[in-house]
Chains A and B, each alone.
Chain A
Amino acid sequence: MSAPAYLTLAEASLLIKNRELSPVTLTERCFKRADKLQPHLHAFVLMTRDTAMAEARKAEAEIAAGRWLGPMHGIPIGIKDIYSTRGVPTTCHSNLLKDHVPSEDAETVRRLKEAGAVIMGKLATDEFAFGTGTNLPFPVARNPWNVDHVPSGSSSGSGVGLATGQFLGATGSDTGGSIRSPAASNGVAGIKPTYGLVSRAGIFPLSFTADTAGPMGWTTEDCAIQLQVMAGYDPKDPASVDLPLPDYHQELGKPAKGLKVGVIRHFYEGRDGSDPETIGIFNQAYDAMRGLGVELRDVTLPDLMDFHACGRAVILPEIYAIHRAMLEKTPELYGEITRERARLGALVTSEEYHRGQRFRRQLIDRILKSMEGLDLLIAPSAYGAPAHVSEIEIFPYFGKPNLSMPFNLSGQPAHAICVGFGREGLPRSLQIVGRHFDEATVLRLGHAYEKATPWRDRRPAV
């Protein structure tokens, strides 16, 4: 059977299960596309072609022998380069680790391999998931919708490669929006799971308080399939929580009708950086959700700047604590922007850090109180079109407050979905936020919205 130009992970999975699509053929097609686009978009820092093709052939043989492992079996994916991969360089997109070859897989990588996924390689990221500069070992990824605009980070290669069909699934990590921002800028989906749902063992840390790992995909359904494999208790991660998991894919089949959703308009509307066109796109998305029978009402949370300040008080010193030794010993090996950002954390006092942590607890209480009688919240994932590459700031902490931060601080699941495009052709995105460990409801609304709207039919013209 001849597969269409673009397949979602879910579509490919079904074809593979039914032996209508060969994992080898699919992986070859993905590499062909990646080879064509890599010189322009730089989604990969390393392609592991030989091992990927061997994994694809193994998957094909297993499936032919009647040993189908599940929906990730034979699916080509990419791994963000802060996830450890056994025997394969894991550089964090930094000269500091350009020769680092882990002896173990990150727990999530191990689970994806065990599920039969075909790992095509390691993906571009902001350096150590928070910085950049000219002094990097690999080119930075470019936005496939318009290379003059940023793909956002830090899971930049994941977003770029998914939007262009170079692979069908990808891992990301999110400490202050690093899954949701590139999902938004590249027009894909990505879920930051509840803190503690997905193991972070073997993933280079950024902030112990806020780090989460999660999947990204072209669709919400693709995220659900990957989350099923990645989630679950891991004693190697001290934040990991031992809870039974729902069947996320099966839960997608439940109707969105009757869901009660709070819209956090004040995070965006009336704020510097908001624009009428984007507000109009968001309003159309709310209307589409109402058309599904979802009940929406406005809710008020604390000022977004309070979350932003709290996040900086907590995350900046944690970054510095992690990087201090390398900053002192070999500062010249960092990208310039990474180095300067990391140092700022050295200047936060311990009292400020702990005041931030206590304030975080208060902010969580206020979010949860605002959700009384509601199933979900909705807020913008990004301010509008992704920024022009000339607008990258060394310290992006003192202008527009970070839209992702509230749910990094609260630890709630937050899922970015594409909700349309501006006149300039760049994507817009909303995030759907749930109660702790209620990823199933978050994904259910995202899936229903995507099925009811045309945005998953549009791909970058590359």
Chain B
Amino acid sequence: MTDPAAVSRADFDALCRLQNLTMLPGEADRLFEAYKKLRVLLARIPYDGDIFEEPSPVWAPGVRRLTR
């Protein structure tokens, strides 16, 4: 798996342009650093490509699972 923090500034800037995020220079620098940390944090969330779990109301009994 690639390093989740390995994001280039050019890719980040392109992503910000796509999302129409216009920022002051200092803000962009801080957001870039935060984005790299966010990538690492979100990489903790497991990915299971074989199971789809449909988000359901928290009080609903059971979990609806569809096996691919």
CA distance A194 to B55 in the complex (A): 17
B68 contacts the other chain (CB 8 A): no
Binary interface encoding of chain A residues 320-336 relative to chain B, with 1 for a CB under 8 A from any of its CBs, else 0: 00000001100100000
A410 in contact with B44 (CB, 8 Å): no
With contact pairs A312-B41, A361-B53 given, residues A394 and B30 touching in the complex (Cβ less than 8 Å)? yes
A426 contacts the other chain (CB 8 A): no
B55 in contact with A347 (CB, 8 Å): no
CA distance A331 to B23 in the complex (A): 9
- Among B21, B52, B55, B58, the residue within 8 A (CB) of A195 is B58
A346 contacts the other chain (CB 8 A): yes
CA distance A249 to B56 in the complex (A): 31
CA distance A331 to B55 in the complex (A): 32
B63 in contact with A313 (CB, 8 Å): no
In the assembled complex, the CB of B33 is this many whole angstroms from the nearest CB of chain A, namely: 8
- Among B21, B31, B38, B53, the residue within 8 A (CB) of A362 is B53
In the assembled complex, the CB of B23 is this many whole angstroms from the nearest CB of chain A, namely: 7
B45 in contact with A352 (CB, 8 Å): yes
- Among A344, A346, A365, the residue within 8 A (CB) of B63 is A365
B45 in contact with A313 (CB, 8 Å): yes
Residues A153-171 near B (CB distance < 8 A):
none
What is the number of residues of chain B that contact chain A, defined by CB distance less than 8 Å?
A: 29
CA distance A357 to B27 in the complex (A): 29
- Among B22, B34, B35, B55, the residue within 8 A (CB) of A358 is B55
A308 contacts the other chain (CB 8 A): yes
A364 contacts the other chain (CB 8 A): yes
A361 in contact with B55 (CB, 8 Å): yes
B41 in contact with A309 (CB, 8 Å): yes
CA distance A365 to B65 in the complex (A): 14
Using C-beta atoms within 8 Å of the partner chain, give the interface range for chain A. 35 or more
- Chain A residues within 8 Å of B35, by CB: 344, 347
Binary interface encoding of chain B residues 30-63 relative to chain A, with 1 for a CB under 8 A from any of its CBs, else 0: 1100110110011011110000111111110001
B8 contacts the other chain (CB 8 A): no
B34 in contact with A395 (CB, 8 Å): yes
In the assembled complex, the CB of A138 is this many whole angstroms from the nearest CB of chain B, namely: 23
- Chain A residues within 8 Å of B21, by CB: 327, 343, 346
- Chain B residues within 8 Å of A434, by CB: none
With contact pairs A331-B22, A360-B55 given, residues A309 and B45 touching in the complex (Cβ less than 8 Å)? yes
CA distance A357 to B57 in the complex (A): 11
With contact pairs A331-B22, A355-B45 given, residues A196 and B59 touching in the complex (Cβ less than 8 Å)? yes
B42 in contact with A343 (CB, 8 Å): no
CA distance A344 to B53 in the complex (A): 26
A340 contacts the other chain (CB 8 A): yes
With contact pairs A347-B19, A436-B58 given, residues A309 and B42 touching in the complex (Cβ less than 8 Å)? yes
B20, B23, B37, B41: residue with the most chain A Cβ atoms closer than 10 Å = B41
A343 in contact with B45 (CB, 8 Å): no
B45 in contact with A398 (CB, 8 Å): no
Residues A73-91 near B (CB distance < 8 A):
none
A397 in contact with B41 (CB, 8 Å): yes
- Among B15, B42, B59, the residue within 8 A (CB) of A437 is B59
A359 contacts the other chain (CB 8 A): yes
- Chain A residues within 8 Å of B41, by CB: 308-309, 312, 397-398
A194 in contact with B45 (CB, 8 Å): no
- Chain A residues within 8 Å of B52, by CB: 358
A313 in contact with B53 (CB, 8 Å): no
The 7 A-B residue pairs whose C-beta atoms are closest, nearest first, are: A411-B58, A357-B55, A358-B53, A398-B37, A309-B44, A346-B19, A395-B34
Give residues in B with beta carbon < 8 Å to A. Answer: 15-16, 19-23, 27, 30-31, 34-35, 37-38, 41-42, 44-47, 52-59, 63
Q: A352-B45, A365-B63, A398-B41 are in contact. List 7 more A-B contacts (CB 8 A).
A: A239-B57, A343-B31, A354-B55, A359-B46, A364-B58, A397-B38, A398-B34
Q: Can you name 15 A-B pairs with beta carbons within 8 Å?
A: A194-B59, A195-B57, A196-B59, A340-B34, A343-B21, A343-B31, A344-B34, A348-B42, A357-B55, A358-B55, A365-B63, A394-B34, A398-B41, A411-B57, A436-B59
